[in-house]
Structure 1
Amino acid sequence: MGTNRLAIVDRAHGRQPVVDPASGRLIVMNGEIYNHEELRAELEAGGHHFRTASDTETVLAAFGAWGPACVDRLDGIFAFVIHDPATGSSFAARDHLGIKPLYMATAGGWVAFASERKAFIGLMAGVTELAPGHVWADGRISRYAGFQAAHDPAVIGPDPVGRCRALLDAAVRRQVQTDLPLAVIFSGGLDSTILLHLATRHHPDVTAFSVGTEDSEDLAFARAFCAERGIRHIVTGFAPEMIPRRIRGAIFDGEFFEPVDISDMISMSAVHATVRANGFKVAIAGDGADELFAGYDMFRTAADPYALTTYRVGNLHRTDLQRTDRASMTHSVECRVPFLDRALVDFAMALPFDLKLRGGVEKWILREAFRGEIADVMIDRPKIRMPEGIGIRDRIFRHLAHDRPGRELTLPPVTIDTPQVRNALLHYLDFGFDAPASRYKSVGTDYAPGGYFRFDATSEATATAI
């Protein structure tokens, strides 16, 4: 067992694998447990003696005290594997929404785990993914957490706007508790503005990081907000000439082939590289807000918006969360996602849709929760998709329509509806990844029949012609 550790908690002593001297069990973990100090105090009261202050040791002790049920006590983002040499037994678990990845493969009686698919290239085929909210115990997989969108007045309470504000504030407060400086990935849109506002309330050393072209709309709003609040702001410029040399890297690092994920990966990898270059190891970002609070146009026309919410939240681990994890961890940055705090997810999934979409305004409850704390010019900003907001528009899509590897490869029998999907999948296979059994995104639930974006006639023709 081994790990390439990004040291954040107990940086001097938290080396992995962590071994429990009493039982001999070992653990390796990727992630962060926000309530590890509370769990540690409870375990110490029960007689457990800790040798380090690391959250990884706390998880190992929790497993020793409570067994597999310990996962229900963990507030955080995690993927971990515990092995008991004395019995040969092993246990693996992944957090409630798959914020942290965990892959596995079997061959010749062996089972191997890793945080990335690329760890198996050339070694083992048939790589599978431990689903979010699931545990693996000696080959048996079971679910411990799941989310279904359905209106539930008992969950949302008598003051849903106030409860929304309180839950998000509490989530940010827990997730920014570090003695390291904090980066906020700041687009200048509603979600990241709220996070930056709350982060500066709960952490003494916050810097905002943005990416975009000089004339981008998001960047103008981001600069104005940071200047008004006196928040340090670092901007990563984005130039069109960066695109050709970064497409294959985005596919390899991100381990996906959906064009919109590749487009977002290129820009987010650039900003996380700047985060790390400025000495930061911990960041927060606004992933999940659009899925939870109906931020996309598709929610307006959905026949069953609750079912669409359930699907979109449940699919995050293969799309936005995978992109955020790879874009950040490629540069040795841990990016946390407060909107996907488990208590906040439970609350948002229980909301009636007229609190999410009201009077033609998306994310209505989220806007009202922070109206008065944040200027209306930021609260009332409409949703803008990332490529448009940062000013790159369809440049990555256009290039991907013609960018393909030099050798011929056999495409798997999955839906290929644009040249971008075809070429991205060819690059993906060229790296040696297993052929996917299905797409990660589909028409009607992830994007409209005409595609993701509508910029101009040229873009439309390029996006739809194969």
Structure 2
Amino acid sequence: MCGICGYVGAERPGLIQAMIAEIRHRGPDGEGCDSALGIHLGHARLAILDPSHGAQPLTGADGRYTVSYNGEIYNYPDLRRELEALGHRFETTCDTELLPLGFAAWGEGLFARLDGMFAFALRDNADGRLWLVRDQLGIKPLYYSLAGGELAFASSARALTRHPQVSRRLRPDAIQEFLQFRWVRSGRHLFSDVEILPPGGVLRWTEGEARLDRFWTPARRGPARNALPRDWAAEVELVLEDSVRRQLRADVALGIFLSGGVDSAMIGHYAARNAANRLTAFTFSTGDRVDETAQAAAMARDFGFDHRVVSLTASDFADFPQAVACLDNPVGDAVVLPTWKLCREAAREVKVVLTGEGADEMFAGYAHLPILRKLDQLGSVAGVLRLLAPLIRLMPVGLLNHLFDYQASLGRLGRDAAAELLAVAGDSGKMLARASAIMGDAEMAQATTLGPPPPRPKADLSLGGLLLDLTRGWLPEEILHKMDQLSMAHGLEARVPYVTTALYDLLLRCPDQMAMGKTLLRHVASQSGLAAARRRKVAFHLPVETLWRPQLEEMCREYLSPAMIRRHAILNEAFVGRSLSLLKAGEFLASKRLVAMVSLHAWLDAHT
């Protein structure tokens, strides 16, 4: 895992060094740069494989192609054998060398052959062409800009803004998306001059022209393949264990993030069976009534792992702005802080961790999915559902909490959100948006100076459509983005064994009843004898509405003060005040809104 950067055009003295400085946290073990034909490449290295060799940018043995690369290619040994059979000669055991040699052999056909997480820039030293490539599911980031007709690119948007053509002018509609959903759903950056290369994307630069294309796009679910649950479980086990086995390959110390749930339990189970050395497990203690430390400790003992517990203290909240600042695009979720601290503590002992990210997206684990599916199936009586919306607002919150599968109370705001969801029954675009948002459209118009949100396009609320939406957006732009940025802030490589095209493609034919709610994954865990198979899902939630409310209120006093609101001129002061009053009343959704607003101001302070 590393950081890359570069630009095209006349040499600008000191620019590539300034860009490298912005990505040095991603690669503290070494750095380098290389220029040819007006294409300038930079690199900061985190040495995981063959630490003594593989310095970058790296040119293949034939001299034709030079690469600056971030990531890990898990099928490197297989592809290396194929290339050696074709007569290509490797000089290192580092997977970087695979890219220039593989491109020489297969051209752009190389990209789809790669199984791993990667983002790289590949220069043709014969004719000055350049390719920017990002992995299929968007595990690794790659930002670029075409401002002023010049191409610049980097693993970090901050590195891009060191280029004099790239401004930090903001996109108001992206800010609006962030405040409503806690992340930017459209996949755009908050800076208008910065673009995000999409998952499976390739940007070709030829003779001053850029062309964006995809070498891979996620397929949608096809007709179900009927098979017994145990047969489906056996297939998933083969694919998932193979993924874990491949991702254990490293020449440095390895660890694992272990909760008490089924996601990390499966990764731990396969890691214990395949690891060559004893692993260290790291668990975050939430300190509330659903703390999973005891369950994680029991699993660590069963798996033969060393175990470390990381806890949060009141003083740790002073680090929240720093955690938010390390994100290239903000994520307005309180779990940014414990994730940042967990990564920091893990980085003191290991350089690579396996994590359970992606399981909810692959195995449809989110609570809103069956709700949207049911409402969509009731489309013929949408008018009746809309008539029921006012009645929902009259129901006791305690009664609705029994239907709300989460460790926090739904609250009055949550009850209103449920009513609003029924009120838009029959409008698929509004239903999807309302189920995903922390504020409705009317509240957004009150919350900011940016005006009401735009109309919602029609959405596909079939299971296939919902999972495709998660795969294209939420997975790369929130889940994977957050883990990459928070781990790499500490020079820690986070690997995600659930996020593979092999597992994604396998599950496309899984029957809906097994695909929904992690039913199939729990079946796999049960056949493996894991107690976590029977545990209810516990979201990674930091209870800032209860346990850590004083610390959230303190952050609000600093980042949502009247002076701060006037300075950034985005939020409505009256709306912020109402949200603070609702927080004092213990409202769960008010805490989420305030965390998002604090995160926005903290991010803007750090980046603009």
Q: Normalized against structure 2, the TM-score is what?
A: 0.65
2:155 match: 115
For residue 381 of structure 1, what is the amino acid of its counterpart?
A: R
Q: Cα distance, 1:154 vs. partner?
A: 5.2
Structure 1 residues 228, 173: closer, same or farther in 2, change over 3 A?
A: closer
Cα pair 1:171 1:339 within 8 Å, conserved: yes
Q: Cα distance, 1:403 vs. partner?
A: 4.3
Match of 1:373 among 520, 524, 528: 528
Q: Deviations over 1:131-160 (max 9, x none)?
A: 001111111111111224424345989921
- For the residues of structure 2 that align with 1:399 and 1:39, how far apart are their CA atoms? 54
1:438 match: none
1:97 match: 137
Q: Cα distance, 1:222 vs. partner?
A: 0.7
Q: Secondary structure at the match of 2:326?
A: helix
Match of 2:607 among 432, 435, 456: 432
Match of 2:358 among 283, 288, 298: 288
- For the residues of structure 1 that align with 2:61 and 2:571, how far apart are their CA atoms? 49
Q: Cα distance, 1:341 vs. partner?
A: 1.4
Cα pair 1:212 1:392 within 8 Å, conserved: no
Answer with 1 or 2: which has the greater Rg: 2
Output aligned runs, 1:164-175, within 5 Å.
Answer: 164-175=236-247
- For the residues of structure 1 that align with 2:161 and 2:301, how far apart are their CA atoms? 47
Q: Secondary structure at the match of 1:350?
A: coil
Q: Secondary structure at the match of 2:121?
A: strand
- For the residues of structure 1 that align with 2:239 and 2:287, how far apart are their CA atoms? 35
Q: Deviations over 1:238-283 (max 9, x none)?
A: 113311x1221122112333322xx2221111111111111x1111
- For the residues of structure 2 that align with 1:195 and 1:122, how far apart are their CA atoms? 39
Q: Cα distance, 1:419 vs. partner?
A: 3.7
1:141 match: 212
Structure 1 residues 397, 62: closer, same or farther in 2, change over 3 A?
A: farther
Q: Secondary structure at the match of 1:77?
A: strand
For residue 294 of structure 2, what is the amino acid of its counterpart?
A: A
Which ranges of structure 2 fall in alignment gaps of 5 or more residues? 1-40, 168-192, 377-460, 577-589
Cα pair 1:186 1:210 within 8 Å, conserved: yes
Match of 1:222 among 255, 275, 296: 296
Corresponding position: 1:189 with 2:229: no
Q: Secondary structure at the match of 2:133?
A: strand
Q: Cα distance, 1:428 vs. partner?
A: 2.2
Output aligned runs, 1:26-425, within 5 Å.
Answer: 26-123=66-163, 124-125=166-167, 126-138=193-205, 139-153=210-224, 159-203=231-275, 204-214=277-287, 217-243=291-317, 245-260=318-333, 263-278=334-349, 280-302=350-372, 303=376, 304=461, 305-315=463-473, 316-357=475-516, 362-376=517-531, 378-387=532-541, 395=549, 401-404=556-559, 407=564, 408-411=567-570, 418-425=593-600
Cα pair 1:400 1:424 within 8 Å, conserved: no
> How many pairs does the alignment contain?
423
Q: Cα distance, 1:108 vs. partner?
A: 4.0
Q: Cα distance, 1:339 vs. partner?
A: 0.5
Structure 1 residues 141, 285: closer, same or farther in 2, change over 3 A?
A: same
C-alpha RMSD of the superposition: 2.7
Q: Cα distance, 1:323 vs. partner?
A: 0.7
- For the residues of structure 2 that align with 1:390 and 1:190, how far apart are their CA atoms? 25
- For the residues of structure 1 that align with 2:278 and 2:328, how far apart are their CA atoms? 33
Identity %: 31
Q: Secondary structure at the match of 2:335?
A: helix
For residue 537 of structure 2, what is the amino acid of its counterpart?
A: K
Q: Secondary structure at the match of 1:32?
A: strand
Cα pair 2:61 2:89 within 8 Å, conserved: no
Q: Deviations over 1:23-46 (max 9, x none)?
A: 442101000001111111111111
Q: Cα distance, 1:391 vs. partner?
A: 12
Q: Deviations over 1:281-326 (max 9, x none)?
A: 1111011111121211101201323222111121111101011101
For residue 359 of structure 2, what is the amino acid of its counterpart?
A: A
1:5 match: 45
Cα pair 1:291 1:312 within 8 Å, conserved: yes
2:440 match: none
- For the residues of structure 2 that align with 1:132 and 1:285, how far apart are their CA atoms? 20
Cα pair 1:254 1:265 within 8 Å, conserved: no
- For the residues of structure 1 that align with 2:85 and 2:530, how far apart are their CA atoms? 47
Q: Secondary structure at the match of 2:151?
A: strand
Q: Secondary structure at the match of 1:72?
A: helix
